[in-house]
Structure 1
């Protein structure tokens, strides 16, 4: 339920009740005047009255000037203009949302409502159009173009909006034209009815069928509105003819009494219906029906004079009971709207940080989007707001909401631009892969393909619509090469087996030197370089030969009696670095190893500085001396470790350079 609309609709009821109250007074005055004019005619018209009453079967009614003055003349267009939908803040709508809205308006059967909303959103949509044109002009001038040569073509969305807007305006024009044509037709109908009434009034017959006269009155009542310029004159002529009809006939008083009795019955029925409305569950429907009862009560016509005031007080009392419910309902609605205002003001504050959110990660944008959409759900779950404050709160919330999504859109546009650049880079890799896919330099080309694959992974994503196709091209080139390479596996396997034998032979020689406790370090380094220069071995033997090699190297180093621990450590580090250099991703592994040693050096230096600082706080005592010895021992060990780490770092630099 639109609570603001309910309040407005319910409060509008006061006007109807005031109209009926005043109508009642006018009707009483009119009835008293007619009563006085016709009281002298009652006796002379007695016989005629009986005859006419028999003819009309109790169906005659008096149509008072005051009760009929506006009957049938209220333009349905004015009624339509009084009904308004919930106010919507269109200032935050996107171009696509405006197009979808105006498409739905173009199909709406309520032509007036559609045209009213279209007029409201047209300036907002034009602002977007002009903004796009201005941005395009700026880009055109920035690119070196002359402003007078600029020719801007609007997109399909703009074309669709303008077409639907014109359709709505055309439908509105047709609607107005049809109403005017109908009013002209109604004018002719009422003029024809007036001519028939004149024939009745000017007729010399005194017992002419009263039913025919009443039928003309009903026919008049059923005719719709006429052009405003003729309305007042038509009503004046109509009421003058009605008065003349009654004044010229001696049966007027009797017929008036019969008519008033029928009116009394009708108004009593309306009172009973009004009294039941106080128990109606749906207050909105009760108010709507009470408005209809007031309208009907006003147009029924006069009742016997002695019944007028009591009857009106009864009807008014039933109305007042509904008004009391309405007042309570309106107060409750206003209270709820104030509570809603507090909640929505809090939610508007809650979304403010989203306007300044920024990140270079898609996951963080998506997470933040989920958060703000959750807040939006809470917002939409809250009811309406007081009309006077709704615009400010809505603007604060939806303005921030729009800013966030504009920022998100800008981020993804920037991301799309980066992905376009990534696409160009990956296309270059595809071209390179196609160039070398038929090479028979197996090892070099395989290494090149591996390098291309690493570079491919480092480039980053490409636009989604090209992701599969560009990867497929790259993979087909790589598969083509490696399929050919695998076809040479038999020869390669033989080469690997030969490499394994050569490495085992080197391991045997190093082991023999260890057994003989040889100190020929130069020969050991030559064997070590020869081992590292040998290519791949069968996959199943990789782990085994690596273990054997490490074992014999350690055995040789440990067996060299004339070798210091520092030299042993250096040889071990050189051996480790050489193994890293001979493996895949050597540069990255060496870099990580170097960084790890630097980190460890920083930690040891920090510990030494801390312990030395602590020594200064110990006083001379037996306990203090013991603690000093412990700290000095720690510092000595740390210095040795630091010396070892720096030696490792020097070796890594020397070997890797």
Structure 2
């Protein structure tokens, strides 16, 4: 019976062996091949390149050009290249607009790019050349492996059909070792090659009847080796990092395939045990991936919400530094929340990342534009303040105390009106301006003793004039001519000590009021006009003359408006009261009010005309 089966196998073609090989053999090959892509699902954590700058993306490609893991290289390249191309196209479009704006013609435009473009393009070409070379070497190696394994099959076939001997069995074991050491072959040839190999191995063992005991011993050793692999596979269920467990399991599958046959009675059992241990790991892997997908979709909901929230920052605008800094703090808080959340489903990651980081970039571009404009304004302010410093230096040695003092005060006010300057120049330019001003005012203070004496004398002169005004009022000799003469003398006198300014001014006004009230032959209107002229004359010499005259004008206008409204109201009331029983008495009363108000209105308008003559 053994001889009949051997004869049948001799007549089977190699292609037939591949198709009719037992289910167990196919299970071993298919199970391992089916899970070879497991690592694709357990990739290292995905890096989000969507917010990388052009320079950073170029460096990523530069580092990638040194990587020999071309599967990883392709994955990253598929994501990075479109991002880089998009940035380059935008820069090219901006360069074209500038070229046209400067008078160029679009047909003459030539975009050369920058250093990052040179680095990027050179390394893209290097990656492609290395990958092409790598693929060519792999194919050559696989074809060479195929040739070597086909040669080994011929040798094994010869051994399988030869007479039994110790030398043949040892040679067969050497051929098995050599087979195991040879690397992968082209995928289209792999299953047929493995089927022929196992068929010839079985034929060899079946034909070596004289070494039956040796064969059984070897198969028991193979059984022990496969049982050990089963134990190792079963222990992988305790490995916490599923990626590590899958990687080691794939190595165990590789060893399991290359161990020779086991006793036929144990063949199915040992395979089922190994398969059960493998299935447990794959089930754990599937459970892990399912949980991972749930987490990724949960992350998607959270990041989608943050992507919506961050859109408001893209349209934010303000002219206040404080508000920009506050918004920056807020958006960075959102970024922290974003980064705490884990990865996303690959299908949705690009869309959500683009939406989030697009708004993020827009906000900071707008912020940079604002601060760039702010820096330009501060540079202009620095130039203006430097001009004030130069003017202050030209004035600091002046001896024209009053004029120069006023000019410096004007410069100081202009200094306050000018906005801030760049931080690094703030202290320096302020010190230069302050030193120049302080120098002048220190020089003026050295003259202060002399000025104090003059001001004390001026105070005595003004007090004397007040006394003369008061004596004229008491004696009944007050006239407009005397007032004009004393008024001119009073205004011609210089400054008095600061502490006495209000007191002498109040005494003078009270003396003038008393003086005017005692002028004989003057109506009240004449006296009011005379007092107003005196006040306006006084105002001309006041440092705050413009402001006080304006305030006086507004007060008069307000009174005029009120009197006009009163007159209009009383005239309307006359028509209403004309129908009442006491119409005549009411008319007389309101006519008196209107007459009096009209006279007052005339006085106010005269005052306003007089005020405008100043």
Matched, 1:522 2:478: no
Deviation of residue 369 (structure 1)?
1.7
Summarize deviations over 1:531-579 as a string: whole Å, max 9, x none.
Answer: 5xx35x7xxx52x122433442454366457288978996998699668
Matched, 1:170 2:126: yes
Which one of 475, 490, 499 corresponds to residue 455 of structure 2? 499
Contact preservation (8 Å) 1:577, 1:652: no
Indicate how the Cα distance of structure 1 residues 134 and 393 shifts in structure 2: closer, same or farther if over 3 A, else same.
closer
C-alpha distance in structure 1 between counterparts of 2:136 and 2:152, whole Å: 25
Indicate the SS of the match to 1:208: helix
Further displaced range: 365-374 or 229-238: 229-238
Contact preservation (8 Å) 2:223, 2:263: yes
Contact preservation (8 Å) 1:574, 1:651: no
Contact preservation (8 Å) 1:274, 1:293: yes
Indicate how the Cα distance of structure 1 residues 389 and 197 shifts in structure 2: closer, same or farther if over 3 A, else same.
closer
Which one of 567, 592, 611 corresponds to residue 654 of structure 1? 611
C-alpha distance in structure 2 between counterparts of 1:354 and 1:485, whole Å: 51
Contact preservation (8 Å) 1:183, 1:224: no
Deviation of residue 159 (structure 1)?
0.7
Indicate how the Cα distance of structure 1 residues 438 and 548 shifts in structure 2: closer, same or farther if over 3 A, else same.
closer
Which one of 543, 555, 560 corresponds to residue 582 of structure 1? 543
Deviation of residue 383 (structure 1)?
2.5
Indicate the SS of the match to 1:357: coil
Further displaced range: 437-446 or 128-137: 437-446
In structure 2, runs of 5+ residues without a counterpart are 9-23, 519-523, 571-592
Further displaced range: 272-281 or 136-145: 272-281
Summarize deviations over 1:579-598 as a string: whole Å, max 9, x none.
Answer: 8x515xx767887x689979
Indicate how the Cα distance of structure 1 residues 550 and 443 shifts in structure 2: closer, same or farther if over 3 A, else same.
closer
C-alpha distance in structure 2 between counterparts of 1:285 and 1:602, whole Å: 96
Contact preservation (8 Å) 1:433, 1:477: yes
C-alpha distance in structure 2 between counterparts of 1:397 and 1:365, whole Å: 19
Matched, 1:510 2:466: yes
Deviation of residue 319 (structure 1)?
4.3
Deviation of residue 316 (structure 1)?
3.9
Contact preservation (8 Å) 2:392, 2:408: yes
Which one of 405, 408, 415 corresponds to residue 367 of structure 2? 408
Indicate how the Cα distance of structure 1 residues 490 and 240 shifts in structure 2: closer, same or farther if over 3 A, else same.
same
Deviation of residue 514 (structure 1)?
4.2
- Superposition RMSD in Å: 5.4
Work out which structure has the larger RCO, using CA pairs closer than 8 Å and 6 or more positions apart in sequence: 1
Aligned to 2:507: 552
Indicate how the Cα distance of structure 1 residues 99 and 578 shifts in structure 2: closer, same or farther if over 3 A, else same.
farther
Aligned to 2:517: 562
Deviation of residue 374 (structure 1)?
1.5
| 1:128-527 pair list within 5 angstroms | 128-150=87-109, 152=111, 154=113, 158-167=114-123, 169-170=125-126, 173-174=129-130, 177=133, 180-181=136-137, 184=140, 201=158, 206-208=165-167, 210-211=169-170, 213-225=172-184, 246=205, 249-251=208-210, 253-322=212-281, 325-326=284-285, 328-426=287-385, 428-429=387-388, 432-433=391-392, 441-463=400-422, 471=429, 476=432, 479-480=435-436, 483=439, 486-487=442-443, 489-491=445-447, 493-510=449-466, 513-514=469-470, 517=473, 521-523=483-485, 525-526=487-488
Indicate the SS of the match to 1:366: helix
Summarize deviations over 1:397-429 as a string: whole Å, max 9, x none.
Answer: 223223322332333343344445445544554
Further displaced range: 168-177 or 453-462: 168-177
Deviation of residue 256 (structure 1)?
4.2
Deviation of residue 371 (structure 1)?
1.5
Indicate how the Cα distance of structure 1 residues 647 and 500 shifts in structure 2: closer, same or farther if over 3 A, else same.
farther
Summarize deviations over 1:598-657 as a string: whole Å, max 9, x none.
Answer: 99999999xx9xxx9xxxxxxxxxxxxxxxxxxxxxxx9xxx9xx99x979x77993896
Give the total of aligned pairs: 550
In structure 1, runs of 5+ residues without a counterpart are 1-32, 41-63, 613-635
Aligned to 2:578: none
Contact preservation (8 Å) 2:96, 2:109: yes
C-alpha distance in structure 2 between counterparts of 1:211 and 1:457, whole Å: 102
**Bigger radius of gyration among the two:** 2
| 1:72-87 pair list within 5 angstroms | 84-87=43-46
Further displaced range: 399-408 or 195-204: 195-204
C-alpha distance in structure 1 between counterparts of 2:63 and 2:383, whole Å: 43
